Structure 1
Amino acid sequence: MYLILDSVLVTLVTILADRRALAVPALSCVNYARHGDYNLGGMFSVHLDSRAPEGDRCSPKLYSFIMYVVESMVFAVDEINNRTDILPNVTLGFDIRDDCLSEDLALWTAMSLIHGQGTPLYDHLCPSKDTDQSGGVIGIVGPGRSSMSLTAASVADLFQIPMISYAATSDELSDKVKFPFFLRSVAPDRFQVDAIVDILDHFQWNYISILYSTDEYGINGARLLQQKAEEYGICVWLSVSIRASPSEREVSDVVQRLKQNTKSKVTVMFAVFQVANAVLSEAKRSGLPSNMTWIASDAWGHRLADFNNEDIAVGGLFIDMESNSVPIFETHFRTLTPNNNRQNPWFNTYWEYLLSTTNCSGVSDDKEQTVCILAHHEAGFSNKAIAAVLDAVYALAYALDSVLKDSCSGTITVDCRPRFNGTVYLDHLNAVNFQEHGGRFLFEDKGDPPGKYEIKNLQPIDGEYRMVPVGKWDAMKATVRLTINESRIYWAGGQTVIPESICREKCGPGYVPVPLSEACCWGCHRCPLDAIVVNGTQCEKCPKRFWPDVNYTRCDDYPEIPVSTNEPVILVVILLSGVGIILTILTVVGMLANSRHPRIKASSRELSYVNLAGLVLAYMTIFPLVIRPSNPSCSVAQTVISVCLTLTFAPTLLKCSRIFRIFRAGKRSTQRPRFISPKEQIIMVSIMVGLQLIISCLSAALPEDFSGGVDIYTYTPFLDGSGSLSDDNESADSHPIVSLTLYCKFGLGFLVSAVYNLLIIIGCCYYALRARHVPDNYNESKFIAVSVYSTLVLCLAVVPVYQTSDDIHMKIATLSLALVINAYVTLVCLYMPKFYIIYVIERRLQEAERMRSGSSFKDGRSSFKSSLRDSMRTMHHQPPVNTTVELFHSRGQDL
């Protein structure tokens, strides 16, 4: 199979080479190799990609940091070969190639490693003078980028060679169907995305921007980030991709969009370092505000100093893979010089680079020059990549050790060299679990190690910029994955508080958020003043007798202000009521004292007593209204008002009707009308009052809508009829002071009672009008008409005042005063004329009679005539009196 593939590839590469469509750069043909019984391959970007459309794809510029990575693999192989507990009697070799940070060359490098030197394909493209040639490798460490790993992993899968990347983090590489032989010693991006989202959620940054590079690393990372952000309710208002080699206009447009939106103050950059630094450089040039907080993925934070962008990124949070430094490797690396490391084909170039970037080039002595250069390797320069490479090499070694022990019956000997099987090797590789320089290491189900990250903050310290650890994120923790020390963070722009990145107004008490026209942005809407805010999202009205607290979070009972009897208007009504009760009692006493008097008998004594009982109730209506209202007291007040009017006007109706019927009957015949006897009149008035009592009792027993009951009157400043703040309020955020007063609300039952009483009053008006032609001396209906008409006028005046008054005291006083005045009018019109005649006029007549009997006949006769004329003149000008007793007596009828 391999021979067939080789032939096909050789033919294809030959054709392409002839057409000059593909050329392997000379720099990429250079390898750093030391062969052993089993060889491991290394794919590292020693040189950068020139990005030239034609010519050599490898730039002569050396990626200086990669020298640590190259030597860390060599160091790990040498360390394993020196141990006896792992791979005894086995020499491990290595073959390290330069992929020049190019996807095309990554494909070629993987092929050359798998087949080794001396194959037709390699000899055709990279003629080699190396006589120490060997076959292919059993496993590959690298590449360092996701985009290159996607290309190289396809070749590795085709030939069933395990590949462990030390820096590729794209989640696409976790697809075991597409890349079954790909593993990595760094956590994939899905863990890094989780860490970023947890940071955003921790600081409540809900309105962010995302910039990402157009490679596998950036595209997949941004896609996962947007998915997770949506789950957490984080709005991404701007998500822009930037090419690996962007134009100035492309970068400038992105930065200008960031400047336009002042609400979003957090930008996540999921990009390679070239893209990230291009954006930062343009941001610094165009004057992007320094309060922008950058959140960096693990690909670009370590390269800020190379582009002089630390000042614009200060205060940013940087996600970095958690790894321990490897002091033993750092000590080893400081011993390397061009003199003792001649096998490394790139080390001389690296040394020259160090001389050109330091002040050591002026030192003439070679020994002093070496000391000067080595001094620049400060402690801690071995970072995550070094530990990841060591873990990858050790994983391949432990897996090989396990395969050989299984094949060699537990003991690896010089003669035991089984045929290599990539599938078996992969199974052992997935099962490794060891503790070495990078700490505990193992692969999960997708060939990925669990994610552990360190959160770093770029801070200005003593005139320089330093990455300060401020937190950690561990995917292995089930509950709290993120731990962060906020007090150690230096915020962007020198802010002393956590910056905000939200497009949401801060809603004060009594306000709820509402969406605005701009995406992901929210404003505030005022709830009605009698409503609280529930769950911070909706308004809910408080029930009766409750009012929101100052924070509009709960409904509290608010103080009840009782009806005060000290109010002047209430005192006036009580005083009038008391005087009225006294006058009514005196009237009853007077009627009892003169019960046999013809004028008292003629006015229907029994009906008068019923009428006076109604007047007493009318005077007493103020008292159930001024006590603390309750359903029973309101039912009593409603019944008293209804019954007092019935007791007042039912007898009046019967009286007026009786007068009219008597005189109408007297004009036609001497036959007595029906139903005019006292007993019959009392029965009729009892029926009328009883019907009113039934209506009032039913009203009190029925539901509240019909019966009325207690209602609440509140005075709420600044509140209009719709429940919103009025235009003339003093402050939109003020909490109104609410006064509450309970009062009796009359329901539909009271309306029925009122209609019933109104019919009785209208009946009184009718009969009073019909009886207007009765002779003055026999007419009481005129006084009744005055009483009834005044009642109608008072009702017309009371109803609008009662309905529109804002003062509860005025409501009560108006209602009570109307009943009291009506009672006074009735008392004066119906009873005062009778007592005036009895106690004034008739006494005058009696006195005149005595004077006539004590004088001479002539003088007495003259005096009597004169006195009689005066008395008759006086009687003529007094109010008419019902003298139906005399009328029917003269006709021989008995009342």
Structure 2
Amino acid sequence: MSQSWYLVLLLMSCTMVLGTYVCYYKEGTVILGGLFPIHGYKGYDQCGSLLGPSRVQRLLAMAQAVDDVNNNPGILPGVTLGYAIFDTCSRESIALNQSLNFIHHRCDRKISCQKYSNLVGVVGASFSTSSILVSHLLALQQIPMISYISTSHQLSDKTQYPFFLRTATPDNLQAAAIVDLLQYFNWTYVSLVYSDGGYGFEGMRALQEEIEQTDICIATIQQVCRSSTDSHVEGVIRKLQSYPEARVVIMFTTIFETNMLLSASLRLNTTGQFVWVGSDGWGTTTEEMSGNEMAALGAITFQPARCAGSFAAFNAGKNNPWLGEMIAAGMIEKTTCNLSSDACNAFMAAERDDPIVHYVRDAVFAYAHALDSLMKACGQKVECLLASSCKGVTLRDTLLNTTFDGSCGRVKFDANGDVMGRYDVRNLQRRADGGFEHVIIGKWDSSDRSISVDLDKIVWNWTQAPTYPQQQEYPYQHQKPKPYDNPEVPRSVCSEPCPAHRQRVQRLNPCCWDCVPCPDNHVVVNGTCCVQCSLLETVEANECVTIPAVWLTHSSFTGMILTAISLGGVICTLAAFFIFFTHHEHPLVKASNKHLSRLILLGLFEGYTHVIVICMKPTYVTCLINRLMFGADFTLIYAPLLTKLNQVYRIFSGASTSVVKPRFIGSHAQVFISVLLVLIQLLLTSINLILTPTKVMSVPTGSGDERGVQLACLTRDNNLHEVVASILYNLVIILLCAYYAFKTRSLPACYNESRFISFQVYTTVVLWVAFIAIYFSVSTPINRTICHAGVLMVNDTSALICFFGPKIYAVYKGKSASRVGVTGSGVYNGRCTTPYPRPPLSFSPASSADPSLKRVETAATDVFSLPSTRISE
């Protein structure tokens, strides 16, 4: 046996001794029982004072609904409904005792039974705790029970409460309505107070289940019992004060616990510190608040949707056992016993605001329609209405399948005996005359779970003005509250949303956090974590935005300088080539090995042109050209130079020891060797092209506010082996040039270019050392490009000046070819020959007699294509 049944038996044993309570009764073919809290509870299972007009109105609404059924010929023809309404005195034990009157007609024949043997169902009870107990008792006799206000979600369990139905909306839907209100105002941090018993506990549990599906947090949960002392209730208020950010307090309590809390709030002077959000357990009428209206001022409560015109003036009837109390309490005058009395109509009209009335009427009409259907199924036999079943169909089953037009629209029970509901959202306000009233400020509908609130109608009782940032940034769009533009709406959040550049670091719960700034180049994702943007992106408005890539352009200041110098170098190179071409028969040009000179000029032209290409936007084509030209820039210059120096060295060193002309010193052989050296460089580059395909890359540069992105051809790390290979190969050639320049430093002046070659070679070595150091230390592609272009221009310009400047000067400015040392530097040198005007190739008799000098002169004349006779003026 379950604990509930033990409790039922215990209460039955306790209530049997209480005697019979008064009853509001009307005879009928079948009787509907009624359980209504007309009085309060005094203690020790004794009734207290009359509660108020609204509670009287509810029982009168049942009596009126029964009369309306009896006056409708379309429902239950030949059958009259009666009622037997008992007062539960707002106490579960008394409600259970009164329900015993409904089951005596099912007792053993040896026991004398009361006159309610024709009872078919019960309307009630009011409180969920009372309905839980009474439903267990009535289920023993299979008596259906339809409550008009019991909303505990626990009663939806048909395995425990198979004969319970209700026309009120269950608490799980009310919990959904409360959560929707919290989300509407963006109240994400709230406290919860609930009453003991099934109503408060089940409501609290349903509310927690709804909140778990949202981003709302509960700061604290407190319980208040009817037996709680004043000090305990004041402790609850102080506990609520300890969470100052949770300014909204949800009260899933009955009117009794609510008054206890409000009274404690008045004693502690906390009025205006909380925004109370109440369930339908309180806030029905202001008469029930027992002078605590100021503490509850501004409260938002939920009540079942009110239906206009659902209750009319009704003659209270002289058989109403509480009529005398109502007259004595001033609730109704004696004249109201007359149906035509204006005072009666005025009294009832004043009480039409009670939102529970239409639920009472719907409960009565649900029985009427179900009994009508049951009687039609049994051939219009009245006897079947009192049988436990008719043709296998019970009244309970018929009720679950009953659909009719109720006071507020279509009424249909689901399998759990519940109906879909609608709530009025109400606000407790003070009238101009000093009284208090609940003003409807919005609606909530369970069919589509929609809530609407008229902000202009709300009056807040808020002593602490909320502070609002002028421009609040929200990580989520849905976090922005709909009424945010209204500065009067109180705030109830543990932590305000963090700015876009700060992440939420959870402190106590998901609603309480600290705002911690994210590192540079990080964005906040969902407000909870910092995510780093890529190195090619920057942060703008908490978004990763691609940084526009830049490169060295011809229009930039540095680019214009490099372009201008390279164009000047191209023009000078073409001019030198033109001079050498047009003066190819000039002895100086012939003596300079015109084929190798043209290769050197080609290398200079390629170097200057490469600078122009370097300043172009990196693309696949430009990157491919840059990679091919990177190694060839120096090789095209120094491969012919090395070949030439090697040729001169071999001629003069070999002629002094042998009369045999050295091998491979002819023009074609020299060109072939030079081209072969260049091809080796290109082969190395081609291998690297295969190993590392050409591509354009975006390279991040700088940090912080100086961050940027530059386009580059590969990167320093990707093509490191290519750069090293090219540099090492060219460095070997340059060092060999330096070696031969040093070895030929002591040759006859007429054949000695070592001064200019040495200067150029040493300059190149210094440039290469500086280039390598700078190239591998510079981090940005643009700076590396500038470094590369600068080295090219300095090297090419120095080569153009050192190699071709003196020769061009001699061709145009020399007064006579005889004054030019044709096999030398190209500038007259007095130490080379006898003083002017003797030809430079004229040897003294002593020198002419030296066989080795004769062989040198013969070899030089042959190699440099000079005439064997003297050059006359």
C-alpha distance 280-866 of structure 1, shift in aligned 2 (>3 A): same
C-alpha displacement of 1:153: 0.7
Alignment equivalent of 1:62, drawn from 23, 29, 50: 50
The aligned counterpart of 1:852 is none
Tell me how far apart the structure 2 counterparts of residues 672 and 489 of structure 1 sit (CA, whole Å).
115
C-alpha distance 598-486 of structure 1, shift in aligned 2 (>3 A): same
C-alpha displacement of 1:68: 1.9
Partner deviation per Cα, 1:856-879 (whole Å, 9 max, x = no partner): xxxxxxxxx99469999xx9xxxx
C-alpha displacement of 1:695: 4.9
C-alpha displacement of 1:375: 5.7
The aligned counterpart of 1:520 is 511
- 1:424 pairs with 2:394: yes
The aligned counterpart of 1:182 is 164
Partner deviation per Cα, 1:371-390 (whole Å, 9 max, x = no partner): 88986665343523222222
Alignment equivalent of 1:794, drawn from 745, 767, 770: 767
Matches within 5 A, 1:100-499: 100-115=89-104, 133-135=115-117, 137-286=119-268, 288=270, 290=272, 292-302=274-284, 306-326=289-309, 329=312, 331-332=313-314, 336=316, 341-354=317-330, 378-381=349-352, 383-407=354-378, 409-410=379-380, 419-421=386-388, 424-435=394-405, 437=407, 439-462=409-432, 463-475=434-446, 477=447, 479=448, 481-491=450-460, 493=462, 496-497=486-487, 498-499=489-490
The aligned counterpart of 2:830 is none
The one-letter amino acid of 2:222's match is V
Matches within 5 A, 1:860-875: 867=835
C-alpha displacement of 1:298: 0.8
Matches within 5 A, 1:577-726: 577-592=566-581, 595=584, 600-601=589-590, 603-663=592-652, 665=654, 669-696=658-685, 706-709=693-696, 711=698, 718=705
C-alpha displacement of 1:221: 1.5
Partner deviation per Cα, 1:621-653 (whole Å, 9 max, x = no partner): 332233444332333344344322221122223
Tell me if structure 2 keeps the 8 A contact 1:164–1:392: yes
C-alpha displacement of 1:843: 4.5
The aligned counterpart of 2:856 is 888
Alignment equivalent of 1:768, drawn from 738, 754, 764: 738
Tell me how far apart the structure 1 counterparts of residues 774 and 859 of structure 2 sit (CA, whole Å).
52
The one-letter amino acid of 1:616's match is F
Tell me how far apart the structure 2 counterparts of residues 891 and 79 of structure 1 sit (CA, whole Å).
142
C-alpha displacement of 1:144: 0.6
C-alpha displacement of 1:709: 3.1
Tell me how far apart the structure 2 counterparts of residues 542 and 573 of structure 1 sit (CA, whole Å).
35
C-alpha distance 90-689 of structure 1, shift in aligned 2 (>3 A): same
SS class of match (1:718): helix
The aligned counterpart of 1:40 is 32
Larger helix proportion, structure 1 or 2? 1
Tell me how far apart the structure 2 counterparts of residues 645 and 435 of structure 1 sit (CA, whole Å).
100
The aligned counterpart of 1:861 is none
Tell me how far apart the structure 1 counterparts of residues 384 and 809 of structure 2 sit (CA, whole Å).
146
Tell me if structure 1 keeps the 8 A contact 2:734–2:765: no
Partner deviation per Cα, 1:72-92 (whole Å, 9 max, x = no partner): 233333444444443444343
Range with bigger deviation, 256-265 or 192-201 = 256-265
Tell me if structure 2 keeps the 8 A contact 1:114–1:136: no
C-alpha displacement of 1:156: 0.5
The aligned counterpart of 1:3 is none
Tell me how far apart the structure 1 counterparts of residues 653 and 244 of structure 2 sit (CA, whole Å).
96
C-alpha distance 29-121 of structure 1, shift in aligned 2 (>3 A): farther
SS class of match (2:90): coil
C-alpha displacement of 1:297: 1.1
SS class of match (2:424): strand
Q: Which stretches in structure 2 are left out of the alignment for 5+ residues?
A: 1-5, 467-485, 822-832, 844-851, 864-873
Range with bigger deviation, 500-509 or 206-215 = 500-509
C-alpha displacement of 1:667: 6.4
Tell me how far apart the structure 1 counterparts of residues 11 and 127 of structure 2 sit (CA, whole Å).
24
The one-letter amino acid of 1:443's match is F
The CA RMSD over aligned residues, in Å, is 4.6
Tell me if structure 1 keeps the 8 A contact 2:145–2:163: yes
Tell me how far apart the structure 2 counterparts of residues 710 and 401 of structure 1 sit (CA, whole Å).
85
Range with bigger deviation, 451-460 or 767-776 = 767-776
Tell me how far apart the structure 2 counterparts of residues 434 and 141 of structure 1 sit (CA, whole Å).
17
C-alpha displacement of 1:512: 5.9
SS class of match (1:467): strand
Tell me if structure 2 keeps the 8 A contact 1:153–1:182: yes
Q: Which stretches in structure 1 are left out of the alignment for 5+ residues?
A: 1-7, 124-130, 721-737, 849-864, 876-883
Count how many residue pairs are aligned between Structure 1 and Structure 2.
803
Tell me if structure 1 keeps the 8 A contact 2:608–2:793: yes
Partner deviation per Cα, 1:787-842 (whole Å, 9 max, x = no partner): 23322322443456567779987665443222111112222333445566777788
Partner deviation per Cα, 1:676-697 (whole Å, 9 max, x = no partner): 3322221122122234345556
Tell me how far apart the structure 2 counterparts of residues 241 and 184 of structure 1 sit (CA, whole Å).
26
Tell me if structure 1 keeps the 8 A contact 2:507–2:513: yes
Tell me how far apart the structure 2 counterparts of residues 827 and 255 of structure 1 sit (CA, whole Å).
95
Tell me how far apart the structure 1 counterparts of residues 799 and 403 of structure 2 sit (CA, whole Å).
110
Tell me if structure 1 keeps the 8 A contact 2:651–2:860: no
Tell me how far apart the structure 2 counterparts of residues 144 and 168 of structure 1 sit (CA, whole Å).
6
The one-letter amino acid of 1:403's match is L
Tell me how far apart the structure 2 counterparts of residues 13 and 835 of structure 1 sit (CA, whole Å).
129
- 1:817 pairs with 2:790: yes
SS class of match (1:354): coil
Tell me if structure 1 keeps the 8 A contact 2:314–2:345: no
What is the TM-score with the length of structure 2 in the denominator? 0.79
SS class of match (1:139): strand
- 1:563 pairs with 2:553: yes
The one-letter amino acid of 1:49's match is Y
C-alpha displacement of 1:525: 6.3
Tell me if structure 1 keeps the 8 A contact 2:204–2:252: yes
The aligned counterpart of 2:471 is none
SS class of match (1:208): strand
C-alpha displacement of 1:300: 1.0
Tell me if structure 2 keeps the 8 A contact 1:263–1:503: yes
Partner deviation per Cα, 1:309-334 (whole Å, 9 max, x = no partner): 444444433211123255653x225x
The aligned counterpart of 1:755 is 725
The one-letter amino acid of 1:612's match is L
C-alpha distance 636-746 of structure 1, shift in aligned 2 (>3 A): farther
Tell me if structure 1 keeps the 8 A contact 2:8–2:133: no
The aligned counterpart of 1:734 is none
Q: What percent identity do the matched residue pairs reach?
A: 28
The one-letter amino acid of 1:318's match is T
C-alpha displacement of 1:299: 0.8
The aligned counterpart of 1:881 is none
Tell me how far apart the structure 2 counterparts of residues 539 and 403 of structure 1 sit (CA, whole Å).
67
Tell me if structure 2 keeps the 8 A contact 1:576–1:820: yes
Tell me if structure 2 keeps the 8 A contact 1:634–1:710: no
Tell me if structure 1 keeps the 8 A contact 2:738–2:762: no
